[in-house]
């Protein structure tokens, strides 16, 4: 048996610039961190040579082609798996449509397990690129590249998406107490609304034919550079403003990124003392993130009392092998 643990992520600014229809026109960039919420993948040989998958449903199949889960099916095809396997996934929090990069964390974790299963050597970059290939090229998901790199590398990162399709990832270099202070200022709330990332990103991709949308995206990329600069000069005072500006810009990208209820939650948090915030992921639901000074956090939590508050910490590491008897 092999078990991998792969972190989810929080993206602060620049989200959407990792889509190829944008970064082929102009370089993209995001600031994101992995968090202490995980996807666990267990993989075990089966005696009867069949395949058994356990996620939100349970699947049984004699052949890879008969599996319904597209990510698992394409991963097994990629690795030319011929023996029966039992694959189980467990998530710390809702694993679909919550804006924390769960699909990519799942894919990275499964690829990690399969590479270990086949005793192959690999790097974090290999994990990222293979996951991108599965999700974007094999499964034709209209998504970007940031989530795969966040899951594989882990940590607080500045990630650039270059026009030739390559990705450059840099650890953000700031004092440890600054990282801890940022972590302590973050409040996260679950809206209870899940949504289809693909449908939102399809509309956003379509809108990139509009020059105004491209201009907005370029401003969001500039904010990613600015956030990196502020963190590396150990300055947290302007981060709320940066998050707020990014969210106001992002809402202009498509009509379905926000809605009346989410706007109300956001406005209430700002009035209660949050300096800035955003909806995580593509939009329309999932988790809300706010930056709030310690002495105002109780007010914000009370203002959003109908939402579920989730205490989230940063995670330094990417996908890890936590158990194996594959010796």
Nearest-angstrom CA–CA distance, 3 and 324 = 6
| Alpha helix segments (H runs only) across the chain | 20-23, 70-78, 102-117, 124-132, 146-153, 176-185, 197-207, 211-232, 239-250, 260-271, 297-303
Q: Residue 286: what pLDDT?
A: 86
The pTM score is 0.94
What are the structure tokens assigned to 164, written together?
């030739």
282 close to 197: Cβ distance less than 8 angstroms: yes
Q: Residue 236: what pLDDT?
A: 95
Q: Strands across the sheet with 276-279, in order?
A: 276-279, 287-291, 186-190, 308-310
268 close to 304: Cβ distance less than 8 angstroms: yes
251: phi then psi, degrees, rounded to nearest 5: -65, -20
Nearest-angstrom CA–CA distance, 295 and 8 = 28
Q: Residue 81: what pLDDT?
A: 94
Q: Residue 195: what pLDDT?
A: 58
Nearest-angstrom CA–CA distance, 151 and 118 = 21
Give percent helix, percent strand, percent coil of the chain, each to the nearest 5: 40, 25, 35
Nearest-angstrom CA–CA distance, 280 and 242 = 15
Q: Residue 94: what pLDDT?
A: 74
Nearest-angstrom CA–CA distance, 317 and 312 = 15
Beta-carbon contacts of 246 under 8 Å, excluding residues fewer than 6 positions away, are 12, 13, 14, 220, 223, 278
Q: Which domains does the chain have, with CATH numbers?
A: 2-173+315-324 (3.30.230.10), 176-310 (3.30.70.890)
Predicted confidence pLDDT, tens digits, the chain (327 residues): 999 999 999 999 999 999 999 999 999 999 999 999 999 999 999 988 899 999 999 999 999 999 999 999 999 999 999 889 999 999 998 767 788 999 999 999 999 999 999 999 999 999 999 999 999 999 999 899 999 999 999 999 999 999 999 999 999 999 999 999 999 999 999 998 765 555 555 665 666 667 888 999 999 999 999 999 999 999 999 999 999 999 999 998 877 788 889 999 999 999 999 999 999 875 567 899 999 999 999 999 999 999 999 999 999 999 999 999 975
Beta-carbon contacts of 164 under 8 Å, excluding residues fewer than 6 positions away, are none
168 CB neighbour count, 10 Å cutoff: 12
Q: Residue 253: what pLDDT?
A: 85
Q: How far apart are the first and last CA of the chain?
A: 10
57 CB neighbour count, 10 Å cutoff: 8
133 φψ region: left (φ > 0), alpha (ψ -120 to 50), beta (else):
alpha
236 close to 254: Cβ distance less than 8 angstroms: no
């Amino acid at each position: 048996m092999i078990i991998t643990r792969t972190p989810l992520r929080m993206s602060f600014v620049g989200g959407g610039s990792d889509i190829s229809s944008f970064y082929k026109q102009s370089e993209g960039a995001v600031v994101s961190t992995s968090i202490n919420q995980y996807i666990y993948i267990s993989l075990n040989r089966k005696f009867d040579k069949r395949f058994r998958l356990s996620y939100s449903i349970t699947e049984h199949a004699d052949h890879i082609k008969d599996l319904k889960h597209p990510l698992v099916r394409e991963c097994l095809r990629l690795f030319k798996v011929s023996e029966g396997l039992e694959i189980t996934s467990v998530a710390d929090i809702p694993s679909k449509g919550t804006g924390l990069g769960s699909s990519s964390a799942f894919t990275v974790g499964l690829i990690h397990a399969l590479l270990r299963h086949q005793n192959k050597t690999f790097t974090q970059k290999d994990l990222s690129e293979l996951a991108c290939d599965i999700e974007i090229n094999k499964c034709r998901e209209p998504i970007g590249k940031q989530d795969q790199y966040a899951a594989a590398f882990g940590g607080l990162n500045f990630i650039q998406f270059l026009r030739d399709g390559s990705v450059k990832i840099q650890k953000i270099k700031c004092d440890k107490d600054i990282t801890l202070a940022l972590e302590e200022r973050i409040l996260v709330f679950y809206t209870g609304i899940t949504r289809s990332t693909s449908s939102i990103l399809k509309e956003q991709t379509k809108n990139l034919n509009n020059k105004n949308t491209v201009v907005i995206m370029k401003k969001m990329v500039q904010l990613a550079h600015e956030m990196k600069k502020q963190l590396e000069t150990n300055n947290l005072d302007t981060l709320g403003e940066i998050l707020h500006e990014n969210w106001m810009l992002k809402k202009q990208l498509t009509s379905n990124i926000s809605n009346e209820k989410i706007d109300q939650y956001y406005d209430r948090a700002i009035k209660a003392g949050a300096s800035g915030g955003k909806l995580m992921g593509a939009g329309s639901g999932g988790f809300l993130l706010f930056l709030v000074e310690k002495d105002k956090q109780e007010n914000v939590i009370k203002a959003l009392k109908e939402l579920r508050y989730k205490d989230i910490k940063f995670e330094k590491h990417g996908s890890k092998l936590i158990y194996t008897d594959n010796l």
